[in-house]
């Protein structure tokens, strides 16, 4: 099973600042990686797939990068609606599909 590890667990950022979230895979997953955003009481929302392709309607301030085992989600200028938990998910080697433990982006 591919283990996905996200860091940090919590990221404190001021509105307007840049946020950089990391996701590491325990083995090679190519660019078969997605990122989701989840707000309290809501289902996850797809942000990025293929490691770097933004999903439909996702603002350009969200960008993804990386390949192999190391991935990054960057939010260039945090807006109030971006404070949430973010999950990465690999779909290169499955079953099972596996998710990271999440990074909570909170207001500093």
Partner 1 sequence: QVQLVQSGAEVRRPGASVKVSCKTSGFMFTGYYMHWVRQAPGQGLEWMGWIDPNSGGTNYARKFQDRVTLTRETSTRTAYMELSRLRSDDRAVYYCAREVGGTVVFFDYWGQGTLVTVSS
Q: Is 40 in the site for partner 1 (CB under 8 A)?
A: no
Residues contacting 38, CB < 8 A, separation 6+ = 44, 45, 84, 85, 86, 87, 102
Nearer to partner 1, 13 or 46 (CB): 46
β-strands 10-13, 103-107 pairing = parallel
Answer for which of 19, 54, 62, 102 binds partner 1 (CB under 8 A) is: 102
Member of 19, 25, 37, 44 binding partner 1 (CB under 8 A): 44
Kindly tell me the sign of the dihedral angle through the C-alpha atoms of 32, 55, 96, 82. Answer: positive
How much is the CA Rg of the chain, to the nearest whole Å?
13
**Stretch binding partner 1 (CB under 8 A), from 16-24, 44-52, 60-68, 73-81:** 44-52
CA distance 80 to 100: 24
Give the total residue count for the chain: 108
Of 15-34, which residues contact partner 1 (CB under 8 A)?
Answer: 32, 34
Restricting to residues 66-95, name those near partner 1 by CB under 8 A.
Answer: 87, 89, 91, 94-95
Out of 20, 26, 30, 50, point to the residue binding partner 1 (CB under 8 A). Answer: 50
What's the min distance (Å) between Cβ of 94 and partner 1? Answer: 7
């Amino acid at each position: 099973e591919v283990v996905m590890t996200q860091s940090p667990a919590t990221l404190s950022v001021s509105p307007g600042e840049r946020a950089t979230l990391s996701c590491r895979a325990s083995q090679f997953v190519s660019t078969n990686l997605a990122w989701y955003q989840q707000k309290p009481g809501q289902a996850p929302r797809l942000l990025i797939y293929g490691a770097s392709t933004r999903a439909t309607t996702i603002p350009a301030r969200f960008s993804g990068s990386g390949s192999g085992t190391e991935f990054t989600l960057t939010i260039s200028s945090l807006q109030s609606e971006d404070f949430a938990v973010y999950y990465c998910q690999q779909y290169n080697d499955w079953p099972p599909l596996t998710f990271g433990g999440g990074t909570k982006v909170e207001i500093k």
